[in-house]
Amino acid sequence: MTIQEIARLAGVSKATVSRVLNNRGGVSPETRRKVEEVIRLHSYTPNLVARGLSLKKTGSIGLIVAHTAERLSSHLFFIEFLRGISAVLDKRGFRLILAPAESEDRYETSCRTMAEGGVVDGVVVLGVRRNDKRLRYFLRAGIPVVTVGRPIGFPKVDYVDADNTGGARVATEYLLRLGHGEVLFINGPRDHTASLAREKGYRQAFKAMGRELDEDLIVYGDFSFESGYETVRGFLARGKSLSAVFAASDLAAMGAITAFKEAGIRVGHEVSVIGFDDIPYAHFFDPPLTTVRQPIYEMGKEAGRILLLRLEGEAGPGRLHKT
């Protein structure tokens, strides 16, 4: 079944069928219903490749992630985000092209190749850094970009984000109010925009509570289970007593809890641990994880929605963002 055959059966022009398929205006409700009925009866599926060639579009969206493919398989934040963005893009016939990276160099190469190769119509970037030079490849190529996290140094780039600063402050203040004099903060990468925002909230909590902050208790990792585990193990091996931990991700918090349990320290009794994300299954951990919730699935959907607005020319010149 071709567009020409659908047009003949519906008694309309090919241009009208094309407008219906692409969900564009200029078609009366009655005509739209007639075309959609022919499409439904004949189980027509548009040829995305052919459509892309005719419109000089690819029908693909790039998803840039600063993690290895192996790590992504257990990265529940990414899996939830992927569910959200797929729910939006799949309905509009877009394919996602995943570009993980084995290293920082490979991450930059992925961005440059995707931007210069003409293989995507738009890009979503997870794990954005401060003054992230990789975004420039897409901006130079005129490819719409949405970042997860406010892209510091790029005031015109669209983004979705959570209240990282506010969430970190609430978590840290909670631990301080419980009577903990010190709170170990296991952060993500030093230049990661989410890490910067969460550290800001952590510092604000100490200032608001009139407490002195120990800089040695701010440790930078990579949001992974291993970074939380190794950080706590290292402190315990040096004879450092810990009563409270705030981790910048749930995976790091789970790693910290595992290290405490191996040392015979009862979490929830002798030490308090709070994570950040509220990933699926956090409440099934032993003990159940106290965490700051991010609406991960909704952030994925919003990233897809913003990108579609750009691609369809329905957004104004100003920056689009959702926090």
Kindly report, residue by residue over 5-26, the tens digit of the pLDDT.
888 888 999 888 878 876 677 8
Q: Report the pLDDT averaged over residues 279-288.
A: 91
Cα torsion angle, 244, 246, 247, 251, sign: positive
pLDDT of residue 313: 79
Contact 323, 148 (CB under 8 A): no
Domains in the chain with CATH codes: 3-46 (1.10.260.40), 60-162+297-322 (3.40.50.2300), 164-294 (3.40.50.2300)
CA–CA distance, 158 with 138 (Å, rounded to integer): 12
Query: Which positions ≥6 away from 66 have C-beta within 8 Å?
Result: 101, 104, 107, 126, 127
Res 254 pLDDT > 90: yes
Q: What percent of the chain is predicted at pLDDT more than 90?
A: 61
CA–CA distance, 292 with 277 (Å, rounded to integer): 6
Res 176 pLDDT > 60: yes
Tally: H helices and E strands in the chain: 13, 11
CA–CA distance, 85 with 209 (Å, rounded to integer): 39
pLDDT of residue 193: 94
Which tokens belong to 259? 């290290």
215-228 per-position pLDDT tens digit: 999 999 999 999 99
- Residue-by-residue DSSP string for 115-143: HHTT--SEEEESSPBTT-TTHHHHHHHT-
Least confident stretch, 11-25, 118-132, 144-158, 182-196: 11-25
Predicted confidence band of residue 1 (pLDDT cuts 50, 70, 90) = low
Q: Report the pLDDT averaged over residues 135-139.
A: 91
Helical axes 29-41 vs 14-21, angle rounded to 10° = 80
Cα torsion angle, 264, 268, 274, 278, sign: positive
pLDDT of residue 71: 67
Contact 100, 126 (CB under 8 A): no
Residue 79: name the closest of 92, 96, 93, 91 by CA.
96
Q: What percent of the chain is predicted at pLDDT more than 70?
A: 89
Contact 151, 183 (CB under 8 A): no
pLDDT of residue 145: 94
Res 318 pLDDT > 60: yes
**Secondary structure (3-state) at 248:** coil
48-101 per-position pLDDT tens digit: 545 544 444 788 999 988 766 666 666 788 889 999 999 999 988 899 988 776
Predicted confidence band of residue 35 (pLDDT cuts 50, 70, 90) = confident
